């Protein structure tokens, strides 16, 4: 063996050791999902209403787009065929059903940040023993409700389908929550307050089941407070005592405005709904779960503790 080759092998061994020693996380799940994940269309006969897609579905990311934590973001655009994808927990046999979270990526109802606010979230949820159902909902111009009802139709349909397949997917139908970022955070709030009546004619048995989430995790939401009206809370999100418990995170320097999370929290408080709000001085917008030097990116640990606090996960959080 030559000296150069030997040195290279030693270097590779050293790198492997360092990554192991510092707890390098696995490579995040890619998009599109692999065949090991169940993917199903939300609407077998086609989504209701006219499509707003201007071209074929594709990753619209360009070299000029902002990176997050030094990595690019997959921005899926022109979604006319919405789907859900199951990222199931690898539970031990006979361990019983586990919770599920239906995830809505953000993207201003124009695109979907499908990895940053989708597949990477599913990896985290699986790591805390929670099933993830990632929704690729219709964009562009699919919300916010009532400007358009398309995304909310997809959200209602997705929650119903998760409950319909609960036994098959080893999910507890009484522990089905939602999680969303930015526009997806607004969508999580919308389905949390618009669940008594579907926005579309019933399709099958899934639409006979409740689409009310049992809990909600809402990250840097938009469209909940009107900046043109002194941040008045949106009347299109009718919070009541039956709105599910919610966990909220937003940074004060978020260009979308921290008042979105604050005003939703106050509406929940006035209605007597248990809620937890975390605001941070810095963090901006659109960080997902990618860790940076900003404390706001530690939110997953807080959310995990909250899931234990409200009884979605068993025992006491570490």
Per-residue pLDDT band at 10 (split at 50, 70, 90): very low
Of residues 295, 260, 265, the one with CA closest to residue 106: 260
> What are phi and psi for residue 104, nearest 5 degrees?
-115, 105
| C-alpha radius of gyration, the chain, whole number | 20
Of 2 and 37, more confident: 37
Model pLDDT, residue 15: 41
Q: Is the predicted pLDDT of residue 19 greater than 90, yes or no?
A: no
Architecture in CATH of 78-309 = 3-Layer(aba) Sandwich (3.40)
Model pLDDT, residue 86: 98
Give per-residue pLDDT as tens, 178-192: 999 999 999 999 999
Q: Return d(Cα 299, Cα 302) in angstroms, integer.
A: 5
Of residues 263, 269, 267, 281, the one with CA closest to residue 222: 263
Per-residue pLDDT band at 22 (split at 50, 70, 90): very low
b/e 192-215 (16+ beta carbons within 10 angstroms → b): bbbbeebbbeebeebbebebbbbb
Q: Does the model's pTM come out above 0.95? A: no
Give per-residue pLDDT as tens, 117-156: 999 999 999 999 999 999 999 999 999 999 999 999 999 9
Model pLDDT, residue 317: 58
Structural domain boundaries in the chain: 78-309
Give per-residue pLDDT as tens, 88-126: 998 766 778 999 999 999 999 999 999 999 999 999 999
Token readout for 263 is 């005003």
Q: Is the predicted pLDDT of residue 21 greater than 90, yes or no?
A: no
Model pLDDT, residue 27: 59
């Amino acid at each position: 063996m030559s000296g150069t080759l030997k040195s290279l092998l030693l270097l590779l061994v050293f790198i492997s050791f360092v990554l192991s020693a510092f707890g390098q996380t696995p490579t995040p799940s890619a998009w599109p999902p692999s065949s090991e994940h169940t993917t199903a269309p939300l609407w077998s006969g086609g989504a209701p209403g006219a499509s707003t897609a201007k071209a074929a579905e594709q990753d619209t990311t360009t070299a000029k787009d902002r990176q997050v934590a030094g990595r690019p973001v997959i921005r899926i655009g022109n979604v006319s065929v919405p789907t859900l994808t199951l990222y199931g927990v690898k539970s031990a046999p006979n361990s019983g059903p586990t919770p599920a979270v239906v995830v809505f990526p953000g993207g201003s109802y124009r695109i979907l940040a499908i990895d940053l606010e989708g597949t990477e979230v599913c990896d985290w949820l699986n790591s805390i023993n929670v099933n993830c159902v990632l929704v690729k909902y219709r964009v562009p111009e699919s919300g916010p409700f009532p400007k358009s009802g398309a995304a909310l139709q997809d959200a209602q349909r997705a929650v119903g389908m998760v409950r319909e397949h609960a036994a098959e997917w080893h999910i507890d139908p009484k522990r089905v929550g939602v999680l969303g970022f930015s526009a997806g955070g607004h969508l999580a709030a919308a389905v949390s307050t618009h669940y008594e009546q579907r926005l579309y004619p019933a399709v099958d048995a899934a639409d006979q089941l409740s689409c009310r989430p049992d809990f909600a995790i809402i990250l840097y939401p938009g469209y909940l407070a009107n900046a043109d009206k002194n941040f008045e809370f949106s009347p299109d999100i009718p919070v009541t005592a039956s709105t599910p418990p919610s966990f909220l995170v937003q940074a004060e320097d978020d260009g979308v405005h921290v008042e979105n999370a604050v005003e939703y929290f106050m509406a929940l408080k006035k209605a007597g709904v248990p809620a937890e709000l975390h605001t941070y001085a810095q963090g901006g917008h659109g960080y997902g779960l990618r860790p940076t030097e900003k404390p706001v990116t530690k939110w997953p640990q807080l959310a995990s503790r909250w899931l234990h606090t409200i009884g979605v996960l068993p025992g006491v959080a570490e």
